Structure 1
Amino acid sequence: MVYVLGMQNDSGGHNLSFGDSRDSSVAGLSRTAHNVVAVCLGSILVLGSLYNFLVLLIFVKFEAVRTPINMILLNISVSDLLVCIFGTPFSFAASVSGGWLIGQQGCKWYGFCNSLFGIVSLISLSMLSYERYLTVLRYTKVDASNYKNAWICVVGSWIYSLFWTIPPLVGWSSYGLESSGTTCSVVWHSKSPNNVSYIVCLFLFCLVLPVLIMIFSYGHIVRVIRGMCRINLTAAQKREHHLLFMVVCMVTCYLFCWLPYGLVSLITTFGKPGAVSPTVSIIPSILAKSSTFINPLIYIFMNKQFYRCFLSLVKCESEPHDSDFTINSRHSKDLHVKENGRVQQSFNQDFARKDTMSSAEKQQKLTLVVHYIDYR
């Protein structure tokens, strides 16, 4: 999904030429506004690059995190890092100088790259939520050696993104300079059937659809995890609270970054010409770009598995300390979640044969194993 909106057009506004974009009075932003935007983009560039580089470093250094579902997390970090490399530096430089610097072809390239990487990130987030839904509700165990579905998600997100970002390059809508004079995106303003049809499809399939998938998936996951607390185990209750907190953060940050973008783009497309000023239009751009450093915080560093690896990286340790999560495989109790959402308990044979053990000993030996370990 592209990141910035608000270009005025031939239906009552004006198109900026690349020669006059450096004139703040023409572009519509004051020198002070350009400076504020430059500070915001500079902070996003530094934080986004740092956080996503740390994620890649953790993947390279620690084999423990190279699980199938974490491949989707890696895909999100790669797409966010590419935004920091191919997108944010150019808009930052343009804000510092007060105008676009790399010409018309550079504007098209910028719009295409930001759209491509942004949609990859959004689709990967929705795929991640659906994969977790399948893990919790459809399977009894996570197959840590099967990367087929993970690679399908990764490759599918890029193909899906290309499907929606190439059309403006070949005539279905277009990429152009925005009214701020420092960024490029889809030409939201045009009222032609060609442009409106593209924007409607982009909004429905690249913003609304991922939101619905996330709400459906996480809603069902929360319902099932809440059912697990009926067995009155403290571990399950703690896991539920942690999950609820993560879900609230995920959905809230997703809407915080992208909902303003979607609303302003619709107002720009279907509202009166000039209804969205250049100053207002730049705000959703900054919020959307902020997802490049928010995503690693929410989806990576809130994951205890990644956090332990991060601490080991800081301490220059070769392997993460995992003693708190050691599971006694011979004396364990498996918690299986079936498709209908019911919780079924099964004791392994070794534990069943220990019928002579005292209740206190059994309580010490009993360990809860839940097969959606990516939430830890």
Structure 2
Amino acid sequence: MIVSNVSLSGCAGVDSAPCAGPAEGHPGGGSQRTTLTPTGNLVVAVCLGFIGTSGLVNNLLVLVLFCRYRMLRSPINLLLVNISVSDLLVCVLGTPFSFAASTQGRWLIGAGGCVWYGFANSLFGIVSLISLAVLSYERYSTMIAPTEADSSNYRKISLGIVLSWFYSLVWTLPPLFGWSHYGPEGPGTTCSVNWTSKTANNVSYIICLFVFCLVMPFLVIVFCYGKLLCAIKQVSGINASMSRKREQRVLFMVVIMVICYLLCWLPYGIMALLATFGPPGLVTPEASIIPSVLAKTSTVINPVIYVFMNKQFYRCFQALLCCETPRRGSSLKSSSKVAVRGVAVAGPRRTNDFLFMVATLGQPAAEVPQLGRSFEPTIDITKPPSSDIHQPVVVSLVAHTDG
């Protein structure tokens, strides 16, 4: 993942002797002592311990729910699981090493372990970021799809998952082959890309990493969810009360997503640029540890925002706690298409008008939220068909009572 880095004195590269050699009698070697005070190391260790434990539990729970309940095995939920897998790998293969280093006040697993830590955490972090962008694009493409639903179409989602891992490898393998390199960062308890080297080789990599792995996913997310919000506003005239409720819910979800994304990753980006282009010593080791900890909180936040605020997952979570069968909400099974009562809504404009009435960010995009006891969206077909494609679709809500 993208992290800010101020290398330790005498430890600017992974091949430096202080980083590779034995330290204070500990077999296997490690870096020199951290510049943080014992209290500072303790605070960092407590934060990392909480983040690692919470992220592990949250993401494991997502995988358990997905494996146990067949109703969750839709294409778009598979993308949510991919995000949880990447976050889980950070909690298993990354956070424990930085936690142990903080408790001891020094890096514990040597130069080779430092390179592995930097590569693995960068890979899994970028996978998570790209997956969030792919998720937003999938929801956007779902809105504009003019064809019928197909709940078994895993091809597009699978392609998105493969793309997220391949794209991440494209940007995390180069430091292993000479385009920049991985090394100690901050106070010496974590490792990442070397942000402080002023060489053209290193600066060019950092600029590309910042643009293509932080800024670009953010722009995709803002664009796709922004278009969704605009579309909801456009259908306010069809059913004002329902659209207003949907608009408020979607706006809240978008704001939360964007704020959490910026909170976790923007400090990393800023610190990285300051360390790369600023004067030496501008970013202190003590200051650089804060963005590192904030970025790791994404492993805790992502499952909460994208999964447990999803009504479908939440119903299954309640069922798991109560050992009962999850209740089903009325839904349209879809990953990228829409149909209503066996009749497809023709044309991009009409598809948008209908789908935006049921789109929600807290659950798969095509799932219809529960309204009252049982509401079912219908198309008014009492009027004869019109050849005017610009006529708005008349949407009504038909309430059904149980017996």
- Other structure's SS at 2:183 match: strand
Aligned residue runs from structure 1 range 132-171, under 5 A = 132-171=139-178
Please tell me whether residue 62 in structure 1 is matched to residue 62 in structure 2.
Answer: no
C-alpha separation between the residues in 2 aligned to 1:22 and 1:344?
A: 59
User: Which of the two has greater helix per residue?
Assistant: 1
Task: Give structure 1 stretches of 5+ with no counterpart.
Answer: 354-361, 368-376
Distance 1:104 1:348, change over 3 A: same
| AA of the residue aligned to 1:305 | Q
- CA shift, 1:363, in A, is 7.6
**Counterpart Cα distance in 1 of 2:138 and 2:274:** 34
8 Å contact from structure 1 (residues 337, 344) kept in 2:
no
Q: Hey, what does 2:326 align to over in structure 1?
A: 320
Kindly state the Cα deviation for residue 340 of structure 1 after the two structures are TM-superposed.
8.9
Cα pair distance change 1:219/1:271, threshold 3 Å = same
Q: Deviations over 1:196-247 (max 9, x none)?
A: 1100000000001001101111110110012222112533332222111111
1:6 corresponds in structure 2 to 6
Distance 1:47 1:16, change over 3 A: farther
Q: TM-score, normalised by structure 2?
A: 0.80
Amino acid of the residue matched to residue 348 of structure 2?
Answer: K
State the partner residue of 1:184.
191
RMSD (Å), alpha carbons: 3.0
CA displacement 1:151-191 (0-9 Å, x = unmatched): 00001100000010011011110001124111110011000
Q: What secondary structure, in the 3-state scheme, does the structure 1 residue paired with 2:235 have?
A: helix
Q: CA 1:158–1:344 in structure 2 vs 1: closer, same or farther (change >3 Å)?
A: closer
- Structure 1 counterpart of 2:398, one-letter code: K
Within a 5 Å distance, the mapping from 1:33-112 to structure 2 comes to 33-112=40-119
Give a deviation string over 1:283-308, Cα, whole Å, max 9, x none: 00000000001000001111111111
Partner of 1:276: 283
Check conservation: 2:49, 2:99, Cα contact below 8 A: yes
Per the alignment, residue 248 of structure 2 pairs with 241
**Structure 2 segments unaligned to the other structure (5+ residues):** 24-29, 333-338, 356-376, 384-394
Residues 69-96 of structure 1, C-alpha deviations (whole Å, 9 max, x = no match): 1111110000000000000000000000
Equivalent pair of 2:2/2:125 in contact (CA under 8 Å): yes
Q: Is the 8 A contact 2:315 2:327 kept in 1?
A: yes
Work out the CA distance in 1 between the residues paired with 2:11 and 2:278. Answer: 11
Equivalent residue pairs, number? 353
State the alpha-carbon separation in 1 of the partners of residues 341 and 186 from structure 2: 66
Q: Measured at CA, do residues 340 and 165 of structure 1 come closer, stay the same or move farther in structure 2, by a change above 3 Å?
A: farther
Q: Which of 341, 347, 353 is equivalent to 1:343?
A: 353
- The one of 223, 231, 239 aligned to 1:224: 231
- Between 226-235 and 11-20, report the one with greater CA deviation: 11-20
Specify whether residues 141 and 307 from structure 1 end up closer, same or farther in structure 2 by C-alpha distance, changes over 3 A only. Answer: farther
Aligned equivalents of 2:327 and 2:57: distance in 1?
24
SS class of match (1:256): helix
> Partners of 1:52 and 1:30 in 2: how far apart?
32
TM, length-normalised to structure 1: 0.86
Deviation at 1:277, TM superposition (A): 0.5
Contact 1:333–1:366 (Cα < 8 Å) also in 2 = no
Shift of 1:68: 0.9
- Residues 339 and 109 of structure 1: CA distance in aligned 2, closer, same or farther (over 3 Å): farther
The percent identity for this pair of structures is: 51
Match of 1:214 in 2: 221
Flag the 1:210–1:272 CA change in 2: closer, same or farther, 3 A: same
Please tell me whether the aligned partners of residues 47 and 293 of structure 2 are also in contact (alpha carbons under 8 angstroms): yes
Question: Structure 2: which amino acid aligns with 1:60?
Answer: C
Q: Equivalents in 2 of 1:366, 1:12: separation in Å?
A: 67
* Distance of 1:274 and 1:141 partners within structure 2: 59
Please tell me whether the aligned partners of residues 18 and 31 of structure 2 are also in contact (alpha carbons under 8 angstroms).
Answer: no
8 Å contact from structure 1 (residues 175, 184) kept in 2? yes
The farther-off stretch of 308-317 and 148-157 is: 308-317
Supply the distance in 1 between the matched residues of 2:100 and 2:177 (Cα, whole angstroms).
Answer: 28
Matched-pair contact (CA < 8 Å) for 2:4–2:269: no
The answer (yes or no) to whether the contact 2:12–2:183 under 8 Å persists in 1 is no
